[in-house]
Structure 1
């Protein structure tokens, strides 16, 4: 079981140097670094933050196809081909086995179905490269990786409401909506919503009632993505 885990763990770390400037990344598409740094700065508690801080978002992998990634997965790891909003090509969601990492939940069995609490998204970008678009921690217990019928990803880590789609070129996960409760008062929230990945993000204040209404939009169990486990 350790055999391919090291290789796939490297996959999860592919692009670790994208934001730090160290050598090792094969290529980063133009504009990725600026966008990620801004997003991570503003959305400190985001489900994408860890991935962005690690330089994972937008990093080019050594793989030639999404199928090749699936073949490299170790026993117990899960995968699912998904269509994510914002980009026409299919993407690959990969989740580690339940014992691969001590600090995060990977594959979880719920009502006989394999779902996941930590997922990395891979895409074939517009220039044909196989790219790591980022990894998502889906948040609190039972809030597993889920999507609505339009391909929008929902993540609810504690006091946040987050939705995601892919960038126009398919290289990175972007916040579609991001609303965070003010933890100092727990009475107001701030953030932004947008309809497409071409729209700019304009921050504004939200009431707690508005935040709660947005959270109700998440499909939760109805939208859980089912993974195939190797």
Structure 2
């Protein structure tokens, strides 16, 4: 693969620590017992579909590109792209997925039932200040839970024991968790996290029952919401 194609997406293979940072730094407004439970859960459950990209600290990084179309032109053969409208920000965004053999540990473009979908996606946006930025990368994790969105532009990611939804920040520079619920991996009997309606709402963690977690997971559009990619 030519290096320019790698550079086009490299700015996004690192956007997810904001997910963990957002959780740890969030305000907790619950009873003392729940605070203890949430703090404990936060100590043992740290990963999300956004974490891998966030560890590289590139969320909101300004790229060298002048337009989203320029990114598309720079992609190598086999890479996929889709223009999407993500909740939280009025401008269109660009979703980019690596070719199916570009990385050993990432499932990029996947051909499923006649559809071209993706398991690892990088989001680029034109921010409010006119810059083309890396908003984050999402790794769906579990097989068949490919990158999907509902009719309102909310992104759904279900990596194993998590229920995660995403929208963009108000300035278009970052992917943010809209909802984040994670099963406690020590007990597999309870869950914790938060839900919110808009990107202006604060995140308030609380405990969830497994039944609640399962009901939220049913909301994901799955195959009906798979984003179809154009492959170069």
**Above 0.5 in TM-score?**
yes
Structure 1 position 45, deviation (Å): 1.2
Q: Secondary structure at the match of 2:212?
A: helix
Q: Superposed, which structure 2 residues align to 1:31-110 within 5 Å? A: 38-39=21-22, 44-110=46-112
Unaligned regions of 5+ residues in structure 2, if any? 25-41
Q: Where do 1:103-122 residues align within 5 Å? A: 103-122=105-124
Q: Could you tell me whether the CA contact under 8 Å between 1:13 and 1:56 is conserved in 2?
A: no
Task: Write out per-residue CA displacement over residues 8-38 of structure 1, whole angstroms, 9 at most, x where no aligned residue.
Answer: 322333278999xxxxxxxxxxxxx9x5662
CA distance 1:218–1:37, shift in 2 (3 Å)? closer
Runs of 4+ in 1 over 3 A off after TM superposition: 15-19, 40-43
CA contact (8 A) 1:13 1:54 kept: no
Change beyond 3 A, Cα 1:85–1:79: same
* Residue 32 (structure 2) aligns with: none
Structure 1 Cα separation of the partners of residues 13 and 218 of structure 2: 35
1:144 to 143, 146, 159: 146
For 1:142-221, list aligned pairs within 5 A. Answer: 142-221=144-223
1:9 and 2:6 correspond: yes
Question: Is residue 12–residue 53 contact of structure 2 (8 Å, CA) maintained in 1?
Answer: no
SS at match of 1:59: coil
The one-character-per-residue Cα deviations of 1:56-92 (angstroms, maximum 9, x if unpaired) are 2111100000000000000000000000000000000
| Structure 1 unmatched runs, 5+ | 20-32
Distance 1:36 1:12 in 2: 20
Distance across 1 between alignment mates of 2:101 and 2:21:
33
Question: How does the TM-score come out when normalised to structure 2?
Answer: 0.87
Cα displacement (A) at 1:39: 2.7
Distance 2:230 2:82 in 1: 6
Task: Determine which structure has greater relative contact order: mean sequence separation of CA pairs < 8 Å that are 6+ residues apart, divided by chain length.
Answer: 2
Q: 1:16 to 1:218 in 2, by over 3 A?
A: closer
> Does the CA contact (< 8 Å) of 2:164 and 2:177 recur in 1?
yes
Aligned length: 213
> If the length of structure 1 is used for normalisation, what is the TM-score?
0.88
